[in-house]
Chain A
Amino acid sequence: MTLAEFFSCSLLAFGAPLVMFSLTVANDPVRIIIMIAAAFGWLLSFLLSSLVWYAVVPLRSYLAFGMVFAVIFQEGFRYGMYLLLRKTEEGLKEISENHNIGSNKLEMAYVSGLGFGTMSGAFALVNVLADSVGPGTLGLHNGTEYFFVTSAAMTLCMILLNTFWSVIFFSGFDDKNYLKVGWVILSHFFVSGLSLLNSRELYAATIIPSYIVLLITAYIAFRSAGGSTAKLVQSLTSRS
């Protein structure tokens, strides 16, 4: 039972990102490197936010405080990734075997966002998953039995959100459209803040709005990347 829970939770959280990785990233060495660099960037941001959280001893029990700094640092590092990628864009184009790689400017954004998100998702969930294998489980004496599933669902949401956020964020800076950047930061704060309610087990109140934000963000990212309904329909029909 616990094993089934482990597999279902890990597939729920990481199944979609894994497919995205293997279909879009795994083929291209440069993309893999960018993804790992983004993961490293996220790691650094998390390290910094934990340092802040750790250093301010009196506020350690208030996770909201740590969360605010974590969001700020993450967005800072997202901007850092943006600068880094835009600076090395030419070089990357040269070193990759695929000279199409820069043809869509947001390709890098997507890849780095996926790296960012995967790392954050992994950090949020790996230990939980490792515990879920058993021998014990949650929800028998106290605690809620939905702990693992909700964690996995939120993780998936965060991974996808990070991917889309990076796309929107990069395109926002490219087009000097700071509304998009604002949306990224605000929705990040919103979703993270919402997840504070998880500790009260108000899962419906956190997961549903988070996924609504995810849908909106996905739509904005889709538009930012130059997508339109007509193109989507076309891409779906031309297959058959």
Chain B
Amino acid sequence: MSDTGSESEIEEATEHTALMDGHIAEARPDREIAERIARKRKTKSDNQQSYGSVERTEGGASGAAGTSASNPPPPQPPADAQIEELELKYGARHVIKLFVPVTLCMLVVVATISSINFYSVKDVYLAYTPFHEESPYAVTKVWNALANSMILLSVIALMTVLLIVLYKKRCYKIIHGWLILSSLMLLFLFSYLYIEEALRAYNIPMDYITLVFVMWNFGGMGMIVIHWKGPLRLQQAYLIFIAALMALVFIKYLPEWTTWAVLAVISIWDLIAVLTPKGPLRILVETAQERNEPIFPALIYSSTVMYCLAATTPPPPGEPRARELRPLHPHGRGTADERRAARESGGAGDAAGFDAAWQARAQQQRRLRVDSSQPPRYTTRLERSPAPAQQPALDDEEKGVKLGLGDFIFYSVLVGKASSYGDWNTTLACFVAILIGLCLTLLLLAILKKALPALPISITFGLIFYFATRCVVKPFADALAAEQVFI
């Protein structure tokens, strides 16, 4: 199993390269690559052309890059090396395609944390974290945090397994219902809480009629955009906002040290789930590959959507246009849709499962419940999309690097948590550390060419820099700033 799995992964990787070739083909016509494309790709040469032209248009738009396409190619390395480099090149642009949404998500969270007090005040906690770290003793706190994070982790693992079982049994209806339910909850309940707190923080009075009207439009639009269709930008905006909301919920409802413990534990779990031969996420990927399906687009933010977007924005000259657009729509819709759905479904499932159990508890539970929705979604993984090989229709879109929405959430949790202490240097350090971690992960992705967990490197860097900055760097930086010494 694992053998075939890795084989198919390699296969896909090559496929990817081939796909990649599409858009640079014009710049460097390499025979091998051309052959590859011809062999592997059903889509005709017009497709390549279109990509080439898109590239060029993009370059032109960016000014400095203007001459890229027409530039004489540098000395041609052997084909292998070239493919390597194609992989990498593929990376460079997509790194940024991932940076932008990740940054936006963090920005929303940090802005919210620093302007709305509600999210940094600890009063109620998740049902999954029964230990509230109220003891003054450090040992007890550590113990509490570890116990909490373990409980949360097992819930997450359980939900992941449940999801995989459902997927294996092809209970798509249930999964979809789950997803829709959770997206419903997120879009209405959490958004309502968010708006309420925002209004309160800024002391803006608003009547319920207006609020209901706004919420109905916002939530209804969100459901349509996520599960059916809508402009890509809007979809992405909704996805980012939802990820930010989830991150805020985590920050609000997890006890102080539990948050850090959870971040650490989750990144280790991510490592295990993606890399071990029997890891649940790996099984998920492999099953999806066997079935020639995109793996749970609902759980994943794929840069391909953005790629498509980029491809469409500069109208490609002439015929290619139609081709470009067509895949875009189904994909965008499908991806966002499923992505959302999957994510939410995960959440909903959790919520539902725990609802009954925890109903007896305080009323705050509603929120807590919602939190639970997150675990499944955390199924975050950075991977070279496995789908393209099998899905000719989705080929174009599937070539992006994919980042699990859970990664968005946990990155934002880290940065948001860092910002909740009011030191901007720490926030900045964590932000840069996470981005560098993401870069390194993508570099590894280009080298190893298989699905990789995106959390471990980034979160490790983030944690190191958070604690280092908070304990050691902050006093130094503060002293320097106070004395106006510039180094």
Contact = CB atoms under 8 A, between A and B. Distances in A.
Interface stretch (B89-97, B163-171, B213-221, B370-378): B89-97
28 contacts: A27-B62, A27-B64, A28-B64, A43-B433, A47-B465, A47-B472, A47-B473, A49-B476, A54-B476, A66-B487, A94-B88, A96-B89, A97-B55, A97-B68, A98-B67, A99-B73, A100-B65, A100-B68, A119-B432, A127-B478, A130-B424, A154-B486, A155-B486, A195-B484, A196-B483, A196-B485, A198-B485, A198-B486
A147 interface: yes
Interface stretch (A29-37, A79-87, A164-172): A29-37
Interface string B198-225: 0000000000000000000000000000
B89 A97 contact: yes
Contacts, number: 157
A124 B95 contact: no
Interface in A38-97: 39-40, 43, 46-47, 49-51, 53-54, 63, 66-67, 70-71, 74, 91, 93-97
A39 B432 contact: yes
A213 interface: no
Contacts of B73: 99
B479 interface: yes
A199 B481 contact: no
Contact of B59 (A63, A98, A199): A98
Interface of B is mostly: helix
A2 B349 CA distance: 49
**Top 6 A-B residue pairs of the complex, sorted by shortest distance between their CB atoms:** A198-B484, A27-B62, A50-B476, A70-B487, A126-B424, A98-B65
A27 B64 CA distance: 7
Given A49-B476, A195-B485, A97 B428 contact: no
A158 interface: yes
A120 interface: yes
Interface of B: 24, 27, 55, 58-59, 62-65, 67-68, 71, 73-74, 85, 88-89, 91-93, 95-96, 99, 422-425, 428-429, 432-433, 435-436, 439, 465, 468-469, 472-473, 475-481, 483-487
Contacts of A54: 472, 475-476
A29 B92 contact: yes
Contacts of A163: none
Contacts of B479: 63, 66
Contacts of A37: 436, 439
B74 A127 contact: no
Main secondary structure of the interface of A (DSSP, over half): helix
A8 interface: no
Given A63-B483, A192-B485, A122 B95 contact: no
A7 interface: no
A185 interface: no
Interface in A172-192: 191-192
Contacts of A119: 428, 432
Contacts of A199: 483-485
Nearest to A61: B479
Give the one of A98, A125, A155 with max B CB within 10 A.
A98
A95 B85 contact: yes
Contact of B425 (A27, A126, A151): A126
A40 B64 CA distance: 25
Interface string A135-152: 000000000000100110
A126 B484 contact: no
Contacts of A155: 486
A154 B485 CA distance: 9
Given A37-B436, A98-B65, A100-B71, A120 B487 contact: yes
B486 A124 contact: yes
A28 B96 CA distance: 9
Contacts of A24: 64
B484 A51 contact: no
B486 A36 contact: no
A128 interface: yes
A163 B63 CA distance: 22
A156 B68 CA distance: 33
A219 interface: no
Given A95-B85, A95-B91, A50 B65 contact: no
A28 B92 CA distance: 9
Contacts of A100: 64-65, 67-68, 71
Nearest to B477: A123
Contact of A97 (B65, B433, B486): B65
Contacts of A120: 487
Contacts of A32: 96, 99
A54 B89 CA distance: 42
B346 to A, nearest CB: 32
Given A49-B476, A63-B480, A196-B485, 12 more contacts: A29-B96, A47-B473, A63-B479, A63-B483, A93-B74, A94-B85, A95-B85, A99-B71, A100-B64, A119-B428, A147-B484, A196-B483
A27 B63 contact: yes
Contacts of B477: 46, 50, 123-124, 127
